[in-house]
Amino acid sequence: MEADRALLAQNEAHIRDIQSLPPDLQRSQSLSELHEAKAVIQNRLDAFIYPVLTLPNEVVSEIFIQFLPAYPKPPPLVGTSSPTLLTHICQKWRAIALATPKLWRVIDM
């Protein structure tokens, strides 16, 4: 995945270089080939599945509960040790966090 990201960045830089040239110097065929290569790389990156997203929701929910500060200290509503932070990662994590009542039972406001 990192290799694809690096290749994509190089490809985008090459496209910018070609596009900065005067139109009569731009080789439209090589530019279109670069755009096609960029699309292929982007599709591969978009298809990558992060292993953590394959965990069952119940397991992720238990991990979230372990994220809370130790009892008796309640978690803050916002900030780095807040369960609200978990809702900002991705749509799946937001749904899991909001469906986990233990995260929200005692919030320090």
Query: Tell me, what DSSP letter sits at residue 21?
Result: S
Residue 24 has a pLDDT of: 64
Helices (H) and strands (E) counted in the chain, each on its own, are 6, 0
21 vs 92, which has greater pLDDT? Answer: 92
Residue 71 has a pLDDT of: 79
4 vs 92, which has greater pLDDT? Answer: 92
Residue 87 has a pLDDT of: 93
pLDDT at 17 over 80: no
Nearest Cα to Cα of residue 85 among 54, 70, 107, 57: 107
Reported confidence tier of residue 109, pLDDT bands at 50, 70, 90: low
Residue 63 has a pLDDT of: 93
Residue linked to tokens 């991990």: 63
Give the pLDDT confidence of 20-76 residue by residue, as tens digits: 767 665 565 566 777 777 788 777 777 777 788 889 999 999 999 998 888 788 888
Residue 58 has a pLDDT of: 95
